Amino acid sequence: MTISEESEASETPEVPEVEADVAEVETSERKRYECLEDLPGVGPATAQKLQEMGFHTIESLATATARELAPAGIGERKALDVIRHARGSISLSFVRADELWKQRQSILRLTTGSQVLDNLVGGGLESQTITEFYGEYGSGKSQMCHQLCVNVQLPPERGGLNGAALYIDTENTFHTERVISMARHYDLDPEEVVKNLIVAEAYTSDHQIFLLENADKIIKDNNVRLIIVDSLTAHFRSEYVGRETLAMRQQKLNKHMHKLIRLARAFNAVAVVTNQVMAKPDVFFGDAIHPIGGHIVAHTSHTRVYLRKSARGPVRIARLVSSPYLPNGEGIFKITENGVEEVDEAERGKKR
């Protein structure tokens, strides 16, 4: 009782002050800041420390927590202040549902290269959220990622976002040649296409985390509209072996995924991760194939698509397994020399 009274009493005088700060940012015509040093209370030394910690842009500060900024030597109050100003600058705040609806209008859609697949996920992959492709070896996850790197560069009328792509490659599977042949198929200049494609190879799970933590400036400077992590889980799976490491693995994966969501939101980008599967030998009914990563990955991937091979060589079956607002369903597409393509009517008639 005494403690709560005491803390209440000691906190009360501060409340109006905090509110005053909020009001200031809300009412003054929201000031836009270009770089960290422009923010009130951030000097060159603090800015440098923040950059070393992976905060290079106002956008990344706007989605940071006060605790995350502590290692830069910023006290909690000052951190909250900095975050508030950063939020004011990019207008991130509490919103009413009608405003949220407006915000959703800013969501962009990226074509997969297959109309069937686009329809399955509600008209293309959505910006500001994470789409996960999971499936067995050779099911087409990395091929899909390569295709998206080309598609994102298309103008909106062709299903693209007029943007660049960032590809975090954890299994050394990225092939420039493959992107070039896909670009040629779209009559795009391959040289231009590969210039708008930033590839970062991640050698370990910590390296993978580090790359994403430091990606904000690259994303901003290059107009990146597609962030890929292929594969999300491979390093984690091979490095964290045994039950005793599970909690640590999940904690790191969780933070990694949340960083990805925040980048996708801050830059209105499409985020795509790939994931392997494992068979659960103890499942007798239903699907014994499960994606790696447990609840953490399941809950942070907004849209999950399960890819599998079919008996017919290039044809792949995509199943929408989870979406916040779409019914589950299935569709087929194919992977050819050209990339991700529609299965035409004649082929569709044949048995899978």
Work out how close the CB of 157 gets to ligand GTP at its nearest, in angstroms, rounded to a whole number: 27
347 part of the interface to ligand GTP, by CB under 6 A: no
336 part of the interface to ligand GTP, by CB under 6 A: yes
Work out how close the CB of 340 gets to ligand GTP at its nearest, in angstroms, rounded to a whole number: 10
- Residue 131: its H or E element: strand 130-135
Sheet architecture: strand order including 130-135: 197-201, 164-169, 224-230, 270-275, 130-135, 303-309, 315-322, 329-336, 339-341
C-alpha span between 349 and 223 (Å, rounded):
42
How many CA atoms are closer than 13 Å to the CA of 239, on its beta-carbon side?
A: 17
65 part of the interface to ligand GTP, by CB under 6 A: no
Q: Which of residues 256-285 bind ligand GTP (CB under 6 A)?
A: 276
Question: Where do the H-state alpha helices sit in the chain?
Answer: 2-11, 14-27, 44-52, 58-62, 66-69, 76-90, 97-105, 115-120, 141-151, 176-185, 190-195, 205-213, 216-221, 234-239, 246-266, 294-300, 345-349
Q: Which is nearer to Mg ion, 89 or 143 (CB)?
A: 143
- Residue 276 interacting partner from ligand GTP, Mg ion, none (CB closer than 5 to 8 Å by kind): ligand GTP
- Residue 57 interacting partner from Mg ion, ligand GTP, none (CB closer than 5 to 8 Å by kind): none
335 part of the interface to ligand GTP, by CB under 6 A: yes
- Residue 139 interacting partner from Mg ion, ligand GTP, none (CB closer than 5 to 8 Å by kind): ligand GTP
Q: Which residues bind Mg ion (CB under 5 A)?
A: 141-142, 173
C-alpha span between 158 and 120 (Å, rounded):
18
In the shown chain, the binding pattern of residues 108 to 147 toward ligand GTP, with x for contact by CB under 6 A and - for none, equals ---------------------------x-xxxxxxx----
Residues in binding contact with ligand GTP, number by CB under 6 A: 14
Letter for the amino acid at 259? K
**Residues in contact with ligand GTP by the rule CB under 6 A:** 135, 137-143, 173, 276, 314, 335-337
